[in-house]
Amino acid sequence: MDDVYRHDREKEKARRMFDSSEARKAFENVLNHDTLMSLLKLEERGTLERIQGVLESGKESVVFLVEKPDGEKALAKIYMNQAGGFRDMEEYLRGDKRFRDFKSDRRSVMKEWCRKEFSNLRKASKVLRCPEAIAFQENVLVMEMIGRDGKPFPKLKEVVPENPEEALDTVLQQMKELLQEEQLVHGDLSEYNVLVNEEGEMIWIDFSQGVHKTHPEASRLLERDVENITGFFGKHGSDTSTEEALEKVIPGTETSEPPYNL
């Protein structure tokens, strides 16, 4: 990995940007100089001002809680340029007609992956509640913080739905609208990628896997999304089968075979 800091002035800028030495060390442990430059550019653009710490860490990305110049909290999702499996990510991207004009090197793939989630969030926000996509720079995506007092709302898996049948119908209708109106499939929808606010509203998150409906894997991914979400609500009392749920999202599936024509 590149050294994070190549000049003393970069280290000083980073010292001012990070809210604590713990946040700075967390960044230094997993990220590199190129990512630091992206964060500094976002700061120069007035997108973010302070980085306060890690909220979530995975194989492909790290999510930091950040503060904007107006004092509002936001999230910076940083896709790690050294993430494994980027060749699979490249193939996944090239199957989506929106994202084909990019180089095959690791940095270019991660930048395009970041741009993909930014675009998916913008499209999804037209038909359902999801984080607002604020800006992106190379492999850094800045988006709305969904929560209160710097803490995200609980995930659906941590909540007992009051009316599982009604909640499932709501999600299925949103899936249908996302497909019909924005030609988009979430691709990784489950109780782990839905937040629930204090009013019981469900907010979809993590659109990095989202694909255009013409993607070769779109039908399979949509089936998996329906199966995941139907299975969760089934555990809480819903009587809707996966086949019935799929029919609500894609009318005509009861009399056809996969892959379905989306």
Q: How far apart are CA 227 and CA 175, in angstroms?
A: 12
The residue annotated as part of the active site, out of 19, 34, 169, 188, is 188
User: Is the distance from CB of 207 to CB of 117 less than 8 angstroms?
Assistant: yes
Q: Choose, from 70, 105, 206, 225, the residue flagged as catalytic.
A: 206
34 catalytic per annotation? no
Q: Virtual CA dihedral for 211, 216, 221, 222, nearest 10 degrees?
A: 80
C-alpha–C-alpha distance, residues 187 and 207, integer Å: 8
Question: Is 188 labeled as catalytic in the residue annotation?
Answer: yes
Measure CA 168 to chain center: 21
In the chain, count of helices (H) and strands (E)?
8, 11
For residue 216, whether the previous peptide bond is cis, meaning omega lies within 30 degrees of 0, is no
Q: Rounded to whole angstroms, how far apart are CA atoms 26 and 41?
A: 20
CA 251 to chain centre: 27
Report which of 114, 12, 8, 27 is spatially closest to residue 66, judged by C-alpha positions. 27
Annotated catalytic sites, by residue?
188, 206
